[in-house]
Amino acid sequence: MIDYIKGSIVELSPAELILDNNGVGYSFPISLQTYQTLQDKKEAKIFVYHYLREDMEEYYGFATKDERELFELLISVSGIGVASARMMLSSLSAEEIRQAILSEDVARIKSIKGIGVKSAQRLIIELKDKIVKGEGADSSELFGSAARSEIVEEASRALIMLGFAKPAVNKAIQTILKANPNAKVEQIIKSALQMM
């Protein structure tokens, strides 16, 4: 599985990015959010979502892990496909989508092209609890400063690879960092293993 690709931006439009990595051009459908993040940049690190169906295979690109995780959460809802999720991420920021779901703002979600009342209600019902638990959010966003985010991300990734669920991992790390804000990666992992 491809997690991310780093390379030079060859072409960038509000709907597509072409990234050159060692002479290979990768084409990614992107959201307006990603487009705005990458404007005026020559190089990019793109987080990849591999979408595979019997009649279609595409790699979607995202400027942040946070946006990719929210995209995955959105397409997990019945009736929300990749086109609808991409439209949502182009119409509202990741934070605005989360807030609309948490506040049960059907009108805000319904205002997005292609999302009707039933789809908006289904999004709220299926995702509200998951968003409260921290799914679809980058762990660095949950844990503050950029300096800490790499340490937190590394510990989180290690614990998830050991088989723990992301919401449980995020909760454990939050508890550990409240008690010891300067904990190192190894300390976080050891403490989390004792808690879970």
Q: Where do the structural domains in the chain lie, given as residue ranges? A: 4-62, 78-132, 139-195
pLDDT of residue 31: 93
According to DSSP, the residues that pair with 48 across neighbouring strands are 61
pLDDT of residue 165: 79
pLDDT of residue 152: 79
Burial class (CB within 10 angstroms; exposed 0-12, middle 13-18, buried 19+) of 142: middle
CATH hierarchy code of domain 78-132: 1.10.150.20
pLDDT of residue 5: 95
The total number of residues shown for the chain amounts to 196
pLDDT of residue 85: 92
pLDDT of residue 53: 83
The low-confidence residues of the chain, meaning pLDDT below 70, are 132-149
pLDDT of residue 169: 82
CATH hierarchy code of domain 139-195: 1.10.8.10
CATH class of the domain whose range is 4-62: mainly beta
pLDDT of residue 27: 94
Gap between the Cα atoms of 129 and 67, Å rounded: 18
